[in-house]
Structure 1
Amino acid sequence: MKKIAKWIPYFKLATAVSIISLSTFSHAATTSLWQVSKNGDSIYIGGTVHVLPPSEFPLPKGFEQAYQKSDVLMLEAQLPDANDTAAQLTMMQTLTYPAGQNLKSNLSPAVYQQLSQYFTSLGVDITMFEQFKPGLVAMMLLTFELQKSQLQGEGVDAYFARLAKQDSKKTLYLETLDFQLSLFSAFGEDNTDAFITSNLAQMKDFKASFLKMLNAWRSGDLSDIEYLMITEMQQTDPQTYDVMFTKRNKDWIPKLEALFGNQEKELILVGAAHLAGKNSVLDLLKLRGYKVKQVQF
């Protein structure tokens, strides 16, 4: 249960393939970091990788520099405590079907068979996950692929959350963990077949895709981030995309605007896919008159 709880807040990466991997760009002039300015005040907004192999640290210098210059760190949500058994139990209860429902009854026979074949290829029996809701199933797909590819590790968000705690740096959140759990719990409710099919498709050539996406993240190439991380989801599962990205991006804008007009400097970290494409966080801020400039270092 501890392993499952640890990965729950990172599930969005599986659904949007907003997981990204890293290659050896040690002297890149830019990364997924932007300075947003208006009326003489500015904030930093960084796109993150929620899962990053230990071998890929240190992070691009721009992130470390922005963190050192900032008085406040803002994350999407507080990360769960792996040692909090009560919280883990709540997570599992939220992300599993109640008595009388199960995964098989919510999937078409064809899609259930595809999912079963995937688990069988890993030597796992699908009945282990029969009570899992689609969101938790997708998280498990991601977990298995990360393990198989030996790509597990602390993400950018978790790294800076730990650093901020050590430094006693003020930390704020765009959402609550309860909200994110409710979001994950609802994934695939009305489009279970499309949701599972989309996630299974993302598992093909997972490692190669992961590495390509991390290259895009490390260099801060928004066009590549959009193509690699969200385009397929927009096409195959637009309903989940709208809930996962468009709506949340719009909900975050007032909270980001509230950070302006004070004496503090803030660093905001969100999944990189939230910063790419139409109705991204950066796009919405530009439309509201903010100057958005990619940080060079």
Structure 2
Amino acid sequence: MRVFSKCLTGLAACTFLALVACGQGDTPADESKVAVAAEAEEATERAEMLEAQKAAYEAALAEAEASRGAGEPALWTLQDEDTTLYIMGTVHLLRPDLKWRSDAIDTALEEADTVVFEADVTSQQAASEMMRFISSKGMFTDGRQLTSLLTEVEKAELQKALDHLGLPLGAIQPMKPWWAAVNLSVMQIQQEGFDPNSGVEKVIEAEAVAEGKSFAYLETIDEQLGRLAGMPEDEQVDFLIGSAESIEEGADVLDVLVSEWADGDVHGIGLLMANPDMIGSDEVYDALLKSRNEDWVGKIEAMLDEPGTRLIAVGAGHLAGEDSVIKLLEQEGYEVSGP
């Protein structure tokens, strides 16, 4: 993952210059010069921002690579007299040839009566809910198109990403920025050889179904995607352009994250993923991780009131960093054993 910081100072300055110019009664030619100057300033600001992001990422990467895990994906345990909760981090898409199973994970899955995922994304009901949500919250319904929200510099960044993916602009024009960002990222990951059918949840789900286990979920599709869909449009645009700017890096960053996950290096995952600087902004960080972690803690606490054994499998980023589910549980006074 890459840093997706905003550059509001430069954009605000461009807007201010344009407004002042119009207020002073410039000719169309003058207005054109101001627009060109504003675009040039925005491009310069974005180039400087990307350099700063690259330096921040390289520093985090160096520290992450210097740390080590236990050599297998991390697994935590939370229990009381009659309840055992195993908690593990997952990666939703993996290369098919990656070997990630461990004796500890196999034992947790074998002992679990119920498997708990983030959300139901495989049932027919879930498919219907997803279609309904995307139709109303992921697509424009007022006649606008995606590029109507973008500056010329942002359009250029988006077009570079689309060219890299071999995707026509028309394919994403009806999408709101957050949904376009998700589609670009997933398409890039899949083109690089990562397969959702090889993802941890898919593998665990197939085995759990075969063994007749029960399933439970920490959130609905509306809750999972609603935070992204509910971001202000400017934040959505920043999310989209940050995603577009990272496309040409290929799968290198994800390969590093998967390596850290497979090694059980929770500190490394926290550095590279579970902090606002790497995700891009406080707003996106909150929508993707922090607010969801806070919601999940109460639901995990409630599971301790029900006897039995559960395996909770959620994205690895939710279990690393200062705002992780694990840290929040510990702050509530629970003893969580693990790395």
Report the TM-score range of the alignment, normalised by the length of the smaller protein. 0.7 to 0.9
User: Partner residue of 2:112?
Assistant: 70
- Please tell me the residue identity of whatever aligns with 2:328: L
Question: Cα–Cα, structure 1 residues 195 and 52, in superposed 2: closer, same or farther, change >3 Å?
Answer: same
> Does 2:94 match 1:52?
yes
Moved over 4 A (4+): 12-15, 38-41, 81-88, 232-235
| In 1: Cα distance, 2:183 partner to 2:152 partner | 20
User: Partner residue of 1:113?
Assistant: 156
What is the Cα deviation at residue 83 of structure 1?
10
What is the Cα deviation at residue 234 of structure 1?
5.2
Aligned partner of residue 31 in structure 1, secondary structure: coil
Aligned partner of residue 140 in structure 1, secondary structure: helix
Moved more, 252-261 or 204-213: 204-213
Equivalent residues of 2:120, 2:220 under 8 A apart: yes
What is the Cα deviation at residue 271 of structure 1?
0.6
Alignment partner for residue 103 of structure 1, among 146, 162, 169? 146
| In 2: Cα distance, 1:69 partner to 1:116 partner | 49
Which whole-Å deviations, capped at 9, do the CAs of 1:148-203 have from their partners, x for residues lacking one?
31222421112222222222211111001232243343356341332123222433
For 1:1-297, what aligned pairs fall within 5 Å after superposition? 29-38=71-80, 41-57=83-99, 59-81=101-123, 86-87=128-129, 89-94=131-136, 95-154=138-197, 155-187=199-231, 189-231=233-275, 233=277, 236-294=280-338
What is the Cα deviation at residue 40 of structure 1?
7.3
Question: Cα–Cα, structure 1 residues 162 and 135, in superposed 2: closer, same or farther, change >3 Å?
Answer: farther
- Please tell me the residue identity of whatever aligns with 1:33: L
- Please tell me the residue identity of whatever aligns with 1:206: G
What is the Cα deviation at residue 84 of structure 1?
8.2
Structure ranking higher on relative contact order (CA contacts 8 Å, 6+ apart): 1
Q: Of the two, which has the highest radius of gyration?
A: 2
Which segments of 5 or more consecutive residues in structure 2 lack a partner in the other structure?
Answer: 5-69
Aligned partner of residue 269 in structure 2, secondary structure: helix
Equivalent residues of 2:3, 2:279 under 8 A apart: no
RMSD: 2.9
- Please tell me the residue identity of whatever aligns with 2:155: Y
Equivalent residues of 1:188, 1:240 under 8 A apart: no
Question: Cα–Cα, structure 1 residues 30 and 291, in superposed 2: closer, same or farther, change >3 Å?
Answer: farther
- Please tell me the residue identity of whatever aligns with 1:172: A
| In 1: Cα distance, 2:228 partner to 2:112 partner | 31
What is the Cα deviation at residue 88 of structure 1?
5.7
Same amino acid, percent of matched pairs: 26
What is the Cα deviation at residue 109 of structure 1?
2.4
Question: Cα–Cα, structure 1 residues 210 and 29, in superposed 2: closer, same or farther, change >3 Å?
Answer: closer
Question: Cα–Cα, structure 1 residues 275 and 186, in superposed 2: closer, same or farther, change >3 Å?
Answer: same
Aligned partner of residue 130 in structure 1, secondary structure: coil
Aligned partner of residue 191 in structure 1, secondary structure: helix
| In 2: Cα distance, 1:190 partner to 1:108 partner | 11
| In 2: Cα distance, 1:241 partner to 1:84 partner | 25
Equivalent residues of 2:3, 2:277 under 8 A apart: no
Aligned partner of residue 97 in structure 2, secondary structure: helix
Which segments of 5 or more consecutive residues in structure 1 lack a partner in the other structure?
Answer: 1-11, 16-27
Aligned partner of residue 251 in structure 2, secondary structure: helix
- Please tell me the residue identity of whatever aligns with 2:280: T
Aligned partner of residue 175 in structure 2, secondary structure: coil
| In 2: Cα distance, 1:265 partner to 1:281 partner | 19
What is the Cα deviation at residue 30 of structure 1?
4.1
